[in-house]
Amino acid sequence: MKFAICNETYGQRPLAQICEHVAQCGYDGLEIAPFTLRDDPSLLTAPEAAAIGRTIRTAGLEVVGLHWLLVKPEGLHLTTPDDAVRRRTVEFASHLARLCGEMEGRIMVWGSPRQRQVAAEQTYADAWKHARDGLRQVAEVARSAGVTIALEPLSTAETNFLTSAAETIRFLDEVDHPACRLILDVKAMSAEQSMSNDQQGVAGPANLPNIIRASRNHLAHFHANDPNRRGPGFGAVDFGPIAAALAEIGYNDYVSVEVFDYSPDPETIAAQSLAYLRRQFSPPPA
């Protein structure tokens, strides 16, 4: 298994400084949020992206890829009835795919919950069609760049479109493109499983491994965090069964730390998250 962390954990620090600490901690890779590189990532050029990739590799790290894709610029949306907005969104995402390839990254995590929310005036079926057709176009560009789009199920607290792994898999089957696959995120899976358990009268997010097993044929990336928005090991989720399920399905790519609560500080988050993950994924012999 390889481990990475997302660069926005470190705030506005220079990229080289971030890379130095991430490498010192012992991570294998760095995942990049485009909005941290420039206020309007549509203005990033291929030579700039290549230089960013070199900076990361010079520190001894791999470029995992990109995430938080549609935060900036404003006004992007995947499912909107507005043809012009969807066209602009596809063009921007295609630009990011090319940049990701220039950095020598391989994954683009497509979360962006607000930018896929189904509008009140449209049907879910129309939103589904718009998203499917748009992602097919971006996936074709991504494939040419050696990049895979990893579509992320997110909780109903964040969006009303693709809120479970099972639904996202059905959607991916319709997209039917080898460069469009699935990411699982522990925080999002916990919300999904907790809702299912509540309906069954079972307390807590008890069965995350089953979601992983059911996703084995589509899984391309994995985010490690906790429902409390902090890092792995900073909350109630036990990653032991998660690690075992990932091993069971033969997943041996990146587990990437993505947090939303940046306390107490980046150094503590990075070091303690990685130490915890290593204990769970490489337990001592019995």
Write the DSSP symbol of residue 117.
P
Contact (Cβ atoms closer than 8 angstroms) between residue 23 and residue 59 = yes
Please give the pLDDT value at position 206: 42
Residue 65: left (phi > 0), alpha (psi -120 to 50), or beta? left
Please give the pLDDT value at position 97: 98
Contact (Cβ atoms closer than 8 angstroms) between residue 17 and residue 53 = no
Contacts of 198 (CB under 8 A, 6+ apart): none
Please give the pLDDT value at position 228: 97
Residues 72-92 have a mean pLDDT of 98
φ/ψ (deg, to 5) at 277: -60, -40
Question: Which band of pLDDT confidence, cut at 50, 70 and 90, is reported for residue 199?
Answer: very low
pLDDT at residue 203 above 50? no
Contacts of 2 (CB under 8 A, 6+ apart): 28, 29, 62, 252, 253, 254, 255
Question: Which band of pLDDT confidence, cut at 50, 70 and 90, is reported for residue 208?
Answer: very high
CA-closest candidate to residue 135, choices 184, 188, 181, 75: 181
pLDDT at residue 86 above 50? yes
| Domain locations along the chain | 2-280
Name the H helices within 37-151: 46-58, 83-103, 124-144
**Structural tokens at position 27:** 């991570």
Strand 148-151 relative to strand 254-257, pairing:
unpaired
φ/ψ (deg, to 5) at 272: -75, -35
Q: Which fold has domain 2-280?
A: TIM Barrel (3.20.20)
Contacts of 33 (CB under 8 A, 6+ apart): 6, 7, 8, 66, 67, 68, 71
SS3 call for 167: helix
Over residues 9-67, the pLDDT tens digits come to: 999 999 999 999 999 999 999 999 999 999 999 999 999 999 999 999 999 999 999 99
Over residues 111-147, the pLDDT tens digits come to: 999 999 999 999 999 999 999 999 999 999 999 999 9
